[in-house]
Amino acid sequence: MNKVIQTIVLTLIGAVCFNSGLYYGIGKSNEQLDRVMDEYVIIQEQVDAFVKVSDPKTILLYVKQLNKILDDVTFLNKVIETGQIAEESLNDFFEESQNQLDEVNERIVVLALETQGMLSKLSEDVTSDLRSNKVELENTLKSESDLVKKEIGKLYDRVDELYKELEKLSILVDKAKETFLGKYIIK
């Protein structure tokens, strides 16, 4: 009878220990899962922010603004050739164009910095639990970054064209000052 009681008591102790260990293990795994999910939420927010910044619509908006500036410069070139505008108006236009160019340059720099910052942050935040997703995410971000860099290159090319047009315009203004009509209009 003593052995039966001992067996029952040992069985009860074993069952209690097993259940305690199981409870502790489940609690730890839930904590680990919560930590991983918190990191996933942070990464998802960063990816969403990156997608918003590298949206082709945003880049197209910058390109449209540059095209408008270039159209304004072309129009101004035609007006100067006909001698219909004074130096004061040209100065105002140059200041406005320079301000627009400065804004576009600032936006391009901010976009590039944010893109690089997000790539760096994402690389640091991805844990060993998400390594398989990390490879796929980095490939996607690289292709998006390449597209953004290509568009930024195009924007810089457009800015260079605009500066060339502005230089031509300055030369034409100087020539217009030397003409008979220019001496009376531009003082």
Residue at 114 is within a domain:
yes
What's the total number of domains in the chain?
1
Residue at 149 is within a domain:
yes
> DSSP letter at 127?
-
Q: Out of 2-11, 125-134, 139-148, which region has the weakest mean confidence (pLDDT)?
A: 125-134
In one letter, which amino acid is 34? Answer: D
CATH number, domain with residue 82: 1.10.132
Residue at 166 is within a domain:
yes
pTM: 0.29
Residue at 2 is within a domain:
no
Residue 9: exposure state from Cβ atoms within 10 A (0-12, 13-18, ≥19): exposed
Q: Out of 3-17, 32-46, 52-66, 150-164, which region has the weakest mean confidence (pLDDT)?
A: 52-66
pLDDT at position 171 is: 86
Report CA dihedral (4, 8, 11, 13) to the nearest 10 degrees.
-130
| Residue 17 confidence (pLDDT) above 80 | yes
Domain that holds residue 77: 45-185
Q: Which residues, in sequence order, are CB contacts of 186 under 8 Å at separation 6+?
A: 86, 87, 173, 176, 177
Query: Using CA atoms, how far apart are residues 37 and 35, in angstroms rounded to an integer?
Result: 5
Query: Using CA atoms, how far apart are residues 121 and 136, in angstroms rounded to an integer?
Result: 16
Cβ pair 144, 51 in contact under 8 A: yes
Q: Which residues, in sequence order, are CB contacts of 70 under 8 Å at separation 6+?
A: 158, 161, 162, 165
pLDDT-derived band at 173, boundaries 50, 70, 90: confident
Residue at 35 is within a domain:
no
Residue 65: exposure state from Cβ atoms within 10 A (0-12, 13-18, ≥19): middle
Question: What would the mean pLDDT of 63-86 be, rounded to a whole number?
Answer: 76
Question: What would the mean pLDDT of 127-140 be, rounded to a whole number?
Answer: 64
Residue at 117 is within a domain:
yes
Tens of pLDDT along 81-131?
Answer: 666 555 666 677 778 878 888 888 888 888 878 878 776 776 666 555 556
pLDDT at position 130 is: 59
Average pLDDT, the chain: 79
pLDDT at position 50 is: 75
| Residue 137 confidence (pLDDT) above 70 | no
pLDDT at position 85 is: 54
